[in-house]
Structure 1
Amino acid sequence: MEFSCKDFKVGKCEGEKVVHGETMPLVLQPPEPSKKDLESLLLALRNNKEWFDQMVIKNSAVLLRGFDVTKAEDFNDIVEAFDWDDIRYVGPAPRTHVYKRVWTANEGPLSEFIYYHHEMVLIKEYPKKVILFCEVPPPEGGQTPFVPSFRVTEQMLEEFPEVVEEIEEKGLKYTFTALSKNDTSSMRGRGWEDTFGTSDRAEAERRAKALGMVLEWLPNSGVKAILGPRSLTKVFEGRKGRRMWFNTVVGMHGKEISSAIMADGSEIPEKVVKRCEEIIEEESIQFKWEKGDVLFLDNLAVLHGRRPSLAPRKVLVATCK
């Protein structure tokens, strides 16, 4: 599909890549300086909802840059310009509700690298779109790199075809532990009470079961969550039959508070995990924030992360079905 929309012009950004003929991210800017105000942007989005949705799927990432988007309320208006339903975040990252559909992104220490992942990949229902807004760009570092997921599968199948198919056949089992209360000194420090929206253990177990996980209570008032079996890759409609690397093996394998193994209990070879980590980095697009940027990611097609950063850095997020 060729670009054709009078309400936007195509720009460029540092670090963009052309992957199989698709520019990632597709940068959309005001068609002229007089159209950079928020009202003009909202009108353009409402008038081109279907086209914009197709651009996000086609290019896997679309960046709105150069518009007057300054605060959470503006960002929420952009999210609500579409007919995408909200989906509540479930996961280990500490987050704070800001306004309507807007939350802070992971509030863990800025010095930490948040590893590449598909949002809520372990949960039965995950968002189709992750939308991010840069209110305060970091003075150094703090990029939100992302990776076309199908490229990871292609490379892994080329180098480890038997291991990939073995894991695919057996499925994956994950575990992670959480304390009772939030710990913002950790990028995976969200407590189970906040995660499940209750301090009642029986209710937490019911809600966990609905999400496809089993809970084991620990003596320190924490909990271990067990998930699986989960698939290694997934193929989603409308994305050219591509096998997406839809898992969090590298991010959770052999970590202190998490693990990723095959569902039958056998270990994934260390060299396979290490090489996968290298491939993900090689295929990454190192997206660098500018103030007012709004980045739409197709969560079914790209992994994303966060580079270590100097303060201040303020990126807000909304997740959509």
Structure 2
Amino acid sequence: MTQTTTAWAPKLVGPAEAGVEANPAGLAEYLRGTDLDDLLVREKAVVFRGFAVTPDSYDGLADLLLPQRLAYVHGNSPRTKVGRNLYTSTEYPAEYEISMHNEMSYASSWPSRILFHCAIAAGTGGATPVVDGRLWLESLDAEVREAFAGGVRYTQNLHDGVGFGKSWQATFETDDRAAVEEFLAGTGADHRWRADGSLWVSLLRPATLAHPVTGTEVWFNQADQFHPAGLGEDAAALAMVIPEDELPQHAVFADGSPIPDAYVRHVQETGMRLAVDVDWRVGDLLFVDNVAVAHGRRSYTGQRRILVAMSG
């Protein structure tokens, strides 16, 4: 792991420390004898390395680490489902970094745990940076923290199969409008279907969150990933020609006022600066408390295949 300015880093657990054989069965033995709730609350993120975990042996280990595996319903990033609620990590082009974020912090509910698995390590780069959400929050300028105190309003324009961004079918993993309506009814989101078959969704969420066990307040939102200023030159150019209410996704403050570009850049740069890089080796597992810790992705070259599953 490559560490930057913070003293926190994920705990590294190998066969020697665990006192078990260097194979998936050995890791399973260690997990069955460990209080995983206590481990994750204490360490916030754990790397299991040296157990030769393969995609075939991942499922059994995931069942021990993730008590209730979730589907990626209402997820906004492009992924491919490859198994039982098992997905590829975000499929953005390799040359782009993905900024720090807590999975689905824009949604009405989110996974409490995430389990990544390295099936193929990148030729160069491709680390998964992780950052302590408490440190991220405390490191932001007071002006920015105060501005976000009221929360964030997220908007999604989900097309009907052709258009920019994700379709509503891919987002909700169904082509049944009634199922989408039922899901959204429980979220508190405003939504409406448009004449062209697309779906508009708007949801107000807090910008910070208290950890459910420790009570620690953390930065917990994805305003920067919904805002054109946080999505690179292409998104900024798109926002110049498409009205705000027609963008695939957008974020404003709770009162509807715009989030300044400078705030978005400050949030992103602070998170990436404080992050600790998990430099992948084939067979690694990365177990993350999705409230305590945010994650991202460094750019890379070559092939890279990271699989991910989540639980409530």
The letter of the residue matching 1:232 is: A
Which residue of structure 2 lines up, in the alignment, with residue 303 of structure 1?
A: 294
Distance 1:221 1:114, change over 3 A: farther
Answer whether contact 2:66 2:113 (CA < 8 A) is retained.
Answer: no
CA distance in structure 2 between the aligned counterparts of 1:87 and 1:309, rounded to whole angstroms: 28
Which residue of structure 2 lines up, in the alignment, with residue 36 of structure 1?
A: 22
Distance 1:145 1:82, change over 3 A: closer
Which residue of structure 1 lines up, in the alignment, with residue 189 of structure 2?
A: 213
Which residue of structure 2 lines up, in the alignment, with residue 150 of structure 1?
A: 134
The letter of the residue matching 2:95 is: S
Distance 1:182 1:129, change over 3 A: farther
Answer whether contact 1:244 1:301 (CA < 8 A) is retained.
Answer: yes
SS at match of 2:190: strand
Q: Which residue of 94, 109, 121 corresponds with 1:125?
A: 109
Q: Does 1:178 align with 2:142?
A: no
Which residue of structure 1 lines up, in the alignment, with residue 88 of structure 2?
A: 104
SS at match of 2:148: helix
Which residue of structure 2 lines up, in the alignment, with residue 134 of structure 1?
A: 118
SS at match of 1:211: coil
Task: Compute the TM-score of the two structures, normalised by the length of structure 1.
Answer: 0.82
Which residue of structure 2 lines up, in the alignment, with residue 7 of structure 1?
A: none
How far the C-alpha of 1:263 sits from its partner, in A, is: 1.6
The letter of the residue matching 2:224 is: V
Which residue of structure 1 lines up, in the alignment, with residue 275 of structure 2?
A: 284
How far the C-alpha of 1:199 sits from its partner, in A, is: 2.0
Task: Compute the TM-score of the two structures, normalised by the length of structure 2.
Answer: 0.85
Deviates more, 1:291-300 or 1:138-147: 138-147
Which residue of structure 2 lines up, in the alignment, with residue 15 of structure 1?
A: 2
SS at match of 1:123: coil
CA distance in structure 2 between the aligned counterparts of 1:153 and 1:83, rounded to whole angstroms: 27
Q: Which residue of 269, 275, 282 corresponds with 2:260?
A: 269
Distance 1:108 1:191, change over 3 A: farther
Q: Does 1:54 align with 2:38?
A: yes
The letter of the residue matching 1:234 is: L
How far the C-alpha of 1:34 sits from its partner, in A, is: 7.2
CA distance in structure 1 between the aligned counterparts of 2:29 and 2:5, rounded to whole angstroms: 29
Distance 1:94 1:281, change over 3 A: closer
The letter of the residue matching 1:154 is: E
How far the C-alpha of 1:218 sits from its partner, in A, is: 4.4
CA distance in structure 2 between the aligned counterparts of 1:211 and 1:140, rounded to whole angstroms: 41
Which residue of structure 1 lines up, in the alignment, with residue 244 of structure 2?
A: none
CA distance in structure 1 between the aligned counterparts of 2:261 and 2:66, rounded to whole angstroms: 43
CA distance in structure 2 between the aligned counterparts of 1:34 and 1:121, rounded to whole angstroms: 36
Which residue of structure 2 lines up, in the alignment, with residue 252 of structure 1?
A: 226
The gaps in structure 2 that reach 5 residues or longer are 229-234, 240-247
CA distance in structure 2 between the aligned counterparts of 1:197 and 1:217, rounded to whole angstroms: 17
CA deviation digits over 1:27-52, x for unaligned, max 9? 0000189710211111111111x1x3
The letter of the residue matching 2:13 is: L
Q: Does 1:233 align with 2:208?
A: yes
CA distance in structure 1 between the aligned counterparts of 2:216 and 2:158, rounded to whole angstroms: 34
Which residue of structure 2 lines up, in the alignment, with residue 201 of structure 1?
A: 177
Distance 1:284 1:263, change over 3 A: same
Which residue of structure 1 lines up, in the alignment, with residue 59 of structure 2?
A: 76
CA distance in structure 2 between the aligned counterparts of 1:127 and 1:213, rounded to whole angstroms: 18
How far the C-alpha of 1:219 sits from its partner, in A, is: 5.3
Moved over 6 A (4+): none
SS at match of 1:295: strand
SS at match of 2:25: helix
The letter of the residue matching 1:24 is: A
Q: Does 1:242 align with 2:216?
A: yes
Answer whether contact 2:207 2:219 (CA < 8 A) is retained.
Answer: yes
Which residue of structure 2 lines up, in the alignment, with residue 45 of structure 1?
A: 31
Distance 1:101 1:77, change over 3 A: farther
The letter of the residue matching 1:25 is: P
SS at match of 2:294: strand
Tell which has more relative contact order, 1 or 2 (C-alpha 8 A, sep 6+): 2
Answer whether contact 1:252 1:258 (CA < 8 A) is retained.
Answer: yes
The CA RMSD measured in Å over matched residues stands at 2.4
CA distance in structure 1 between the aligned counterparts of 2:146 and 2:208, rounded to whole angstroms: 10
Which residue of structure 2 lines up, in the alignment, with residue 160 of structure 1?
A: 142
Distance 1:160 1:65, change over 3 A: same
The letter of the residue matching 2:279 is: K
How far the C-alpha of 1:179 sits from its partner, in A, is: 2.6
Identity %: 29
Answer whether contact 1:76 1:101 (CA < 8 A) is retained.
Answer: no
Answer whether contact 1:182 1:191 (CA < 8 A) is retained.
Answer: yes
How far the C-alpha of 1:64 sits from its partner, in A, is: 0.3
SS at match of 1:35: coil
How far the C-alpha of 1:220 sits from its partner, in A, is: 4.8
The letter of the residue matching 1:53 is: D
